[in-house]
Amino acid sequence: GAADYECEMVVLGGGPGGYSAAFRSADLGMKTIVVERFSKLGGVCLNVGCIPSKALLHNAAVIDEVKHLAANGIKFGEPEVDIDALRGFKEKVIGKLTTGLAGMAKARKVEFVRGIGRFIDPHHLEVQITTGEGKEVTGETKIIKFQKAIIAAGSSVFKLPFVPNDPRVVDSTGALELKSVPKRMLILGGGIIGLEMGTVYSTLGARLDVVEMLDGLMQGADRDLVKVWEKWNAHRFDNIMLKTKTVALEAKEDGIWATFEGENAPKEPQCYDLVLHATGRVPNGGKVGAENAGVIVTDRGFIPVDKQMRTNVPHIFAIGDLVGQPMLAHKAVHEAHVAAENAADHKAFFDARVIPGVAYTDPEVAWVGVTEDEAKKNGINYGKGVFPWAASGRAIANGRDEGFTKLIFDQDTKQIIGGAIVGPHAGDMIGEICLAIEMGCDAVDIGKTIHPHPTMGESIGMAAEVFKGVCT
Ligand code: FAD
């Protein structure tokens, strides 16, 4: 039959990848439709990811900061937490941003089709229309005929097979709902998402255990950075179980009982009021009927693309979490622009040299490019400049001098190839190192750049000076 909608560009998924792709496509003159099963644009990032987690982490960081002031002679009482109001604040933050997105879509005449999309052939998408806050189907279906498509359906939580269906066992989305604050909380998986949520719950009063199969928390970051984080956060944890697996979770009346196996496993099962499973995310590439359009999907659900974000089918592009690691919003946005520009017959390539990673914990841990542990492992001829914040006037004045800034240089060219920071606001600071790497800066460029004094940002210039041997 005839299609209900016709367009030059259909974008499947309304997350940071999808809405960025739709906006750029429209800006480049294409008649654009975005298909999203939920009522609002924003995807995981805005609704149940980056933004709500940071809204809660900000409040937690302020509470923690205030406690430190006692050492400076300023004492506050115990915080009184109105959890409903806190949840309300988080919802308000999300609302502001999603309303903004809706306005931006409207201004560009991007049409929003609300439903679950599925390719039926290389030029048609079928949409099961949804309603309400979630993704309840109405029974109605619509057909969209498109010339080009961008697949941006994101990723979902990976659920271990033995995870019981119980309100006391949550994934990151459930944890962000902040229903109550448990006494004892178990975090399955010592990655960024688990540790960020753990930080929030611990500041609000929970005692934490964390279990991680590998030999360290926060994989990907250099161990010297993680050590600083661990020392600062030791007070939150009863038990950090590395090289240990959770093998069973049993829901009982008095709590969720977890059984562990491995090097640091307690012999007896442990009882928790809340279990957060944060053991990774899986791509949604296999769930959108891509094969009906001839698009190759890997066994794991990723959609392979080239540097122009094209799938094996030239008029269909894919971006974001479902094209590969790292599953990060800023990567999705960049890929989105590349895909939309190529679809509009411009020539664009995803050629970022580096993609930064940040744990928004307290202190923050941020890194970009070659890490020192990686450089060692791969036998790269590197040199480093490290500036301890214990020598930073500003960090000392802030009462937060536990961190450091580290730059990694190619020993032959003296060009910067990586950098890492641990300390408050490390995530905001790492951008300068990203730019330096993209620009091909060497140690002299960075060291001779005048940074404002007194700031933690100075530590980046100082670290370059340390590498040059000027400031030791
Ligand atoms: P998504 O955001 O997953 O969006 C995909 C959208 O497609 C969803 O809205 C989904 O409903 C929709 N969809 C899927 N299938 C269909 C279909 N068949 N039909 C219609 N619609 C469909 N990243 C960072 O960079 N910084 C952070 O601080 C950060 N914090 C995070 C915290 C948490 C708790 C989590 C879970 C993730 C976090 N991330 C963070 C990761 C970030 O959220 C993702 O990398 C990002 O959202 C990926 O964007 P995307 O557009 O690829 O997909």
Whether ligand 1 lies within 6 angstroms of the CB of 427 is answered as no
Is any ligand 1 atom within 6 A of the Cβ of residue 191?
A: no
Give residues with Cβ within 8 angstroms of 205, minimum separation 6: 81, 181, 183
> Are 454 and 389 spatial neighbours (Cβ–Cβ below 8 Å)?
no
Name residues whose C-beta falls within 8 Å of residue 106's C-beta, 6 or more positions apart in sequence: none
**Residue 282: Cβ within 10 Å count:** 18
Contact 364, 424 (CB under 8 A): yes
**pLDDT band, very low/low/confident/very high, at 133 (cuts 50, 70, 90):** confident
* Residue 403 tokens, joined: 């961190």
Pocket probe for ligand 1: among 44, 146, 192, 365, the residue whose CB has the most ligand atoms within 8 Å is: 44
Q: What is the C-alpha separation between 438 and 356, in angstroms, rounded?
A: 12
Residue 17 beta carbon below 6 angstroms from any ligand 1 atom = yes
pTM, 2 dp: 0.97
Distance of CA 259 from the midpoint of ligand 1 (Å)? 31
Known binding-site residue numbers for FAD: 54, 117, 321, 327-330
What spacing in Å lies between the alpha carbon of 155 and ligand 1's midpoint?
Answer: 6
pLDDT in tens, 262-307: 999 999 999 999 999 999 999 999 999 999 999 999 999 999 999 9
Structure token digits, residue 362: 């307290």
> Residue 195: CB partners within 8 Å, gap ≥ 6?
187, 210, 217, 218, 359, 361
Does the interface predicted TM-score (ipTM) exceed 0.90?
A: yes
Q: Is the CB of 363 under 6 A from ligand 1?
A: no
pLDDT tens digit sequence for 320-376: 999 999 999 999 999 999 999 999 999 999 999 999 999 999 999 999 999 999 999
Query: What pairs with residue 365 in β-bridges?
Result: 359, 422
Other Cβ atoms less than 10 A from the Cβ of 191: the count is: 20
The mean pLDDT value of the chain amounts to 97
- The annotation places the binding site for NAD(+) at 189-196, 212, 280
Distance 287 CA to ligand 1 centre (A): 15
DSSP 442: B
324 pocket-lining for ligand 1 (C-beta < 6 Å): no
Ligand 1 neighbour 117 (Cβ under 6 A): yes
Q: Give just the sign of the alpha carbon dihedral 37, 41, 45, 49.
A: negative
Mutate-to-test residue for ligand 1 from 23, 36, 45, highest number of ligand atoms within 8 A of CB: 45
Q: Which two tokens stand for residue 8?
A: 């030059």
| The predicted structure's pLDDT at residue 472 | 46
Closest CA to 239 of 263, 220, 221: 263
Q: Is 453 a catalytic residue?
A: yes
What is the distance between the alpha carbons of residues 242 and 213, in angstroms, rounded to a whole number?
6
pLDDT in tens, 64-123: 999 999 999 999 999 999 999 999 999 999 999 999 999 999 999 999 999 999 999 999
DSSP 322-337: GG-SS--HHHHHHHHH
15 CA to centre of ligand 1 in angstroms: 5
